């Protein structure tokens, strides 16, 4: 078996592949290379062709060439698991959550199996009775949906540590639920649901009530009775204020989603996958893949429409074949998935295509191109699905579907989705999904602790064409993250915009343009500058509803920077610093003979860590750190950290800032300790300091990747690194 295309991956892509995708033996040594991985995937997926009288080897070669040329990439589980004993290839799942303990814990068990297999899960918790409601079997009171969401969240935290892919969840609660206020505030007031994206499910009736300043009824799902009546506008204000503060919750427009329900006989669509782009029925899964636009256009942005059609058709066939060879975590999931055979073909590399075309992201011309391009992908995708149906048969639930009503055969109930492409876009060396770029240039730590500077290739070309040296503007672009103040022609500034240069209205208009020609939904984050107001958030939400989007997620830059939460007694903020020494620098205070402190023990992969935190004048003053049964080098590193922390404390650095810097640093050997996880020695020290102080710090700085040191951004509902494969969701 051979293909015509030689796979060429960048150094960064190879690093991602080696870390996440290439197969390893029991010792952790690589047993395949990138081309072998692509052949493994291509030949495994093409195995489905034999059932339809086709030649699997011929289609394996076509699939391989398409992936080796970086024209198309399937979702991560397919790259990881195709042709392996695990064999689970789907990215997104939705699971039902009922009101009984049996149903809830059954969903919890299913969640663990899905996450173990590499998938993400979505839930609608609106059937769970509200907190304080009656529980007849025990004569007690219910704890409510948020308490059970915490249970799902903790399960995700436990399961994700052993897999190749981090578990992620979407939690939806409908605006009519009596606990909706607590749900909206859940990620604002407390350090909760860290493995959840949350969205409020709203109906057209709710949006009308908001517009008319009308009353809104909160209804107990168990009894159907009205629990209380509030002003819809007050709930809307709370929602937008919370999103302004923390980025959560998003909004899902349930009636708009239902309008796109091609199989109404299967029920209503009221849940989505973790990033919101895939509405699914309970127990349904979907297989996603994305076309890399920059490989289908020249350096001037001219699209090769003929090749794009070929890639769309081959991709639809590939994704349909995935359904046939997939291994499903539960029989219910297999039945629902094969009943509707939903696939989700989308795009990536949109930002680079606009750079090459000389079009500003969000301009009228760019929106028109978005509609033209996605309209083409959808039309060809539907045509190919219809052709497959004529040869292979319609999807089993076609009878009674909207496709039958339209008189059109279809192999797949849905065909197109704009998905987040965080890691596969890194492999393909392009921008993620339909997002703008988040950095035109950035610094990144290298393996030898050097700092490297990366600059966008299209920007380098453009600077060269106008006679500008990239080095003349590079430092300013790196420091500011934008071209706005760089000494370059205005025309370049107009084209090379980044996410925070773009007004929210243009972000929303772009999402709506793609949604117009997308069967499922569109994953995109509406990025706002730090200076954005609550009213900006409110208008973005209203605009997305008015333009026909199926949901919206916003993120205000650095919105969590002032949201660090402190619980319990401890050091007050803004405490007086010690007097400065010579040269204006803080002078470490001298240690008295006697100090009062406390010692905590915390488990690490190197043995038990003993931390003694001493105080002076009620403030933390020094830290002694000792590891039991560790090697000399590890103990030396631990002692060094303790000494540096002590020096910082004696120099007036607030202990909470020290905790924030150390907490969350990842290591190669995380361990479970009590009801949490210790990621590394620095993380253990941070958590030990928290225990010694009796307070908790919620990490707020999302600006640096813990893996490679490059900038991180909020995109498609997830925290994601712009350089390596790190993601908080996947």
Residues serving a catalytic function are: 273, 275, 277
Helix axes 655-662, 681-693, angle to 10 degrees: 150
Measured CA to CA, the distance from residue 49 to residue 318 in angstroms comes to 10
Helices marked H in 9-75: 11-20, 34-46, 56-68
Closest CA to 420 of 717, 199, 705, 712: 717
Q: What is the largest CA-CA distance in the chain?
A: 89
Length of the chain: 730
Q: Could you give the C-alpha distances from 541 to 501, 535, 677, in angstroms and in order? A: 19, 10, 37
Measured CA to CA, the distance from residue 127 to residue 445 in angstroms comes to 48
Measured CA to CA, the distance from residue 538 to residue 560 in angstroms comes to 18
Measured CA to CA, the distance from residue 648 to residue 666 in angstroms comes to 22
Q: End-to-end CA distance of the chain: give it in Å, rounded.
A: 33
The 3-state secondary structure of 428-473 reads HCCCCCCCCCCCCEEEEECCCCCEEEEECHHHHHHHHHCCCCHHHH
Helix axes 204-211, 232-246, angle to 10 degrees: 100
Helices and strands (H and E) in the chain: how many:
24, 23
CB burial of 439-448 (b: ≥16 within 10 Å; e: otherwise) equals: bbbbebbeee
Closest CA to 157 of 606, 664, 675, 662: 675
Q: Beta partners for 198?
A: 171
Q: Is the peptide bond before 249 cis (omega within 30 degrees of 0)?
A: yes
Cβ–Cβ under 8 Å, residues 676 and 687: yes
Residue 251: φ, ψ to 5°? -130, 135
Tell me if residue 218 falls in helix, strand or coil: strand
Handedness of CA 169, 175, 176, 179 (dihedral sign): positive
Closest CA to 17 of 9, 29, 7: 9
Measured CA to CA, the distance from residue 516 to residue 602 in angstroms comes to 53
Is 349 exposed, middle or buried, given 0-12, 13-18 or 19+ CB atoms closer than 10 A?
Answer: buried
Closest CA to 471 of 453, 495, 489, 458: 453
Measured CA to CA, the distance from residue 519 to residue 260 in angstroms comes to 7
Measured CA to CA, the distance from residue 70 to residue 5 in angstroms comes to 10
DSSP string, 347-365: EE-HHHHHHHHT--TTSHH
DSSP code, position 47: G
Is 21 exposed, middle or buried, given 0-12, 13-18 or 19+ CB atoms closer than 10 A?
Answer: buried
Q: Tokens 């494969």 appear where?
A: 725
Closest CA to 119 of 93, 96, 152: 93
Measured CA to CA, the distance from residue 244 to residue 271 in angstroms comes to 24
Helix axes 632-650, 655-662, angle to 10 degrees: 150
DSSP code, position 279: B
**The tokens of 471 are what?**
């080095």
Measured CA to CA, the distance from residue 305 to residue 259 in angstroms comes to 30
Virtual torsion, Cα 234, 239, 242, 247, nearest 10 deg: -160
Cβ–Cβ under 8 Å, residues 375 and 517: yes
């Amino acid at each position: 078996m051979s293909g015509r295309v030689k796979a060429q991956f960048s150094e960064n892509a190879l690093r991602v592949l080696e870390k996440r995708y290439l197969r390893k033996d029991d010792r952790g040594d690589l047993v395949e290379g990138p081309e072998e991985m692509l052949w493994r995937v291509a030949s495994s997926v093409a195995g489905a062709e034999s059932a339809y009288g086709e030649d699997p080897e011929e289609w394996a070669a076509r699939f391989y060439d398409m992936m080796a040329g970086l024209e198309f990439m399937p979702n991560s589980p397919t790259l990881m698991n195709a042709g392996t004993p695990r064999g689970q290839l789907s990215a997104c799942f939705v699971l039902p959550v009922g009101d009984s303990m049996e149903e809830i814990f059954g969903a919890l068990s299913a969640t663990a199996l899905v996450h173990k297999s590499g998938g993400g899960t979505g839930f609608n918790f609106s059937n769970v009775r509200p907190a304080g409601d009656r529980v007849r079997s025990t004569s007690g009171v219910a704890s409510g949906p948020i308490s059970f969401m915490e249970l799902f969240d903790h399960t995700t935290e436990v399961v994700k540590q052993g897999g190749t892919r981090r578990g992620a969840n979407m939690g939806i609660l409908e605006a009519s639920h009596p606990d909706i206020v607590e749900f909206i505030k859940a990620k604002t007031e407390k350090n909760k649901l860290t493995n959840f994206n949350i969205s409020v499910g709203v109906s057209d009736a709710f949006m009308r009530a908001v517009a008319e300043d009308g009353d809104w009824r909160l209804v107990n799902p168990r009894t159907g009775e009205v629990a209380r009546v509030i002003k819809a506008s007050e709930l809307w204000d709370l929602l937008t204020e919370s999103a302004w503060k923390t980025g959560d919750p998003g909004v899902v427009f349930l009636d708009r989603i239902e309008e796109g329900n091609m199989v109404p006989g299967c029920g209503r669509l009221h849940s989505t996958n973790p990033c919101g782009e895939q509405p699914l029925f309970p127990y349904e899964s979907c297989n996603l893949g994305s076309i890399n636009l920059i490989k289908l256009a020249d350096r001037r942005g001219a699209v090769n429409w003929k090749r794009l059609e070929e890639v769309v058709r081959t991709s639809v066939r590939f994704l349909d074949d995935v359904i046939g060879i997939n291994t499903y975590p539960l029989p219910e999931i297999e039945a629902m998935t094969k009943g509707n055979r939903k696939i989700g073909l989308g795009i990536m590399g949109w930002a680079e295509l606009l750079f090459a075309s000389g079009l500003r992201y969000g301009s009228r011309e760019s929106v028109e191109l978005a509609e033209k391009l996605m309209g083409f992908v959808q039309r060809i995708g539907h045509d190919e699905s219809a052709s497959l149906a004529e040869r292979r048969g319609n999807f089993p639930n076609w009878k009674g579907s909207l496709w039958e009503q339209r008189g059109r055969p279809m192999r797949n109930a849905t065909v197109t989705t704009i998905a987040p492409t965080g890691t596969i876009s890194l492999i393909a060396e392009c921008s993620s999904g339909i997002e703008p770029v988040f950095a035109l240039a950035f610094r990144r730590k290298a393996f030898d602790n050097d700092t490297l500077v990366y600059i966008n290739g299209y920007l380098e070309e453009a600077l060269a064409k106008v006679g500008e040296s990239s080095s003349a503007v590079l430092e300013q672009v790196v420091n500011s993250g934008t071209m706005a103040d760089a000494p370059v022609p205005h025309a370049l500034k107009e084209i090379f915009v980044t996410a925070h240069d773009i007004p929210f209205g243009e972000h929303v208009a772009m999402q709506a343009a793609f949604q117009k020609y997308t069967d499922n939904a569109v994953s995109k984050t509406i990025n706002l500058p730090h200076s954005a107001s609550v009213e900006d958030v409110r208008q973005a939400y209203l605009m997305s509803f008015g333009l026909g989007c199926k949901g919206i997620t916003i993120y205000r830059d650095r919105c969590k920077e002032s949201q660090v939460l402190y619980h319990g007694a401890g050091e007050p903020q803004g405490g007086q610093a010690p007097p400065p020494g010579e040269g204006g620098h803080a002078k470490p205070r001298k240690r008295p003979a006697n100090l009062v402190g406390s010692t905590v023990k915390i488990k690490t992969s190197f043995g038990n860590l003993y931390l003694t935190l001493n105080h002076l004048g009620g403030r933390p003053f020094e830290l002694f750190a000792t590891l039991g049964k560790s090697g000399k080098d590890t103990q030396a590193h631990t002692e060094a950290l303790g000494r540096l922390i002590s020096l910082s404390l004696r120099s007036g650095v607030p202990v909470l800032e020290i905790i924030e810097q150390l907490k969350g640093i990842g290591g190669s050997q995380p361990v479970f300790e009590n009801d949490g996880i210790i990621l590394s020695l620095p993380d253990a020290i941070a958590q030990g300091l928290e225990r010694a102080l009796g307070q908790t710090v919620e990490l707020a700085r999302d600006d640096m990747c813990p893996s490679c040191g490059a900038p991180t951004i909020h995109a498609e509902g997830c925290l994601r690194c712009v350089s390596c494969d790190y993601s908080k969701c996947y």
